[in-house]
Amino acid sequence: MSSPISAIGAVSAPIAPISLSGATSADYAEKSSFGDMIGAALAKTEQAQSKASDLAVQLSTGDLDDPQEYLMAATEASLSTQLTVAIRNKAVDAFNEIMRLQA
């Protein structure tokens, strides 16, 4: 009779490393800078807010058939804005810490 614990060994095979299609971190560094990534994130946030605003107008005028579409867009815009503010706060905190260390 085998013990139930011996069956665990068969399940816990080594996990293969994840491959990103041969791309290295240097490839990503060359393609976009930190500023480009922040700019793209801000543009996406602005786009989400604009979409939610447009859907709010459509909902209030009766042109929107599904109110759930507005709720999803408004939630996406809210979460995107919260993330943007959190990243900005972390960047300001990091800047202040660097300035404190130099003083």
Q: Is residue 100 part of a domain?
A: yes
Report the number of distinct structural domains present in the chain: 1
Inside any domain, residue 21: no
Read off the pTM: 0.63
Q: DSSP code of 17?
A: P
The mean per-residue pLDDT over the stretch 9-24 comes to: 57
Range of the domain at 68: 46-103
Per the domain annotation, does 28 fall within a domain?
no
Residue 3 inside a domain? The answer is no
| CA angle in degrees (0–180, nearest 5) for 30-32-36 | 155
Could you tell me the maximum CA-CA distance found in the chain, to the nearest angstrom?
72
- State pLDDT tens for residues 46-64: 999 999 999 999 999 999 9
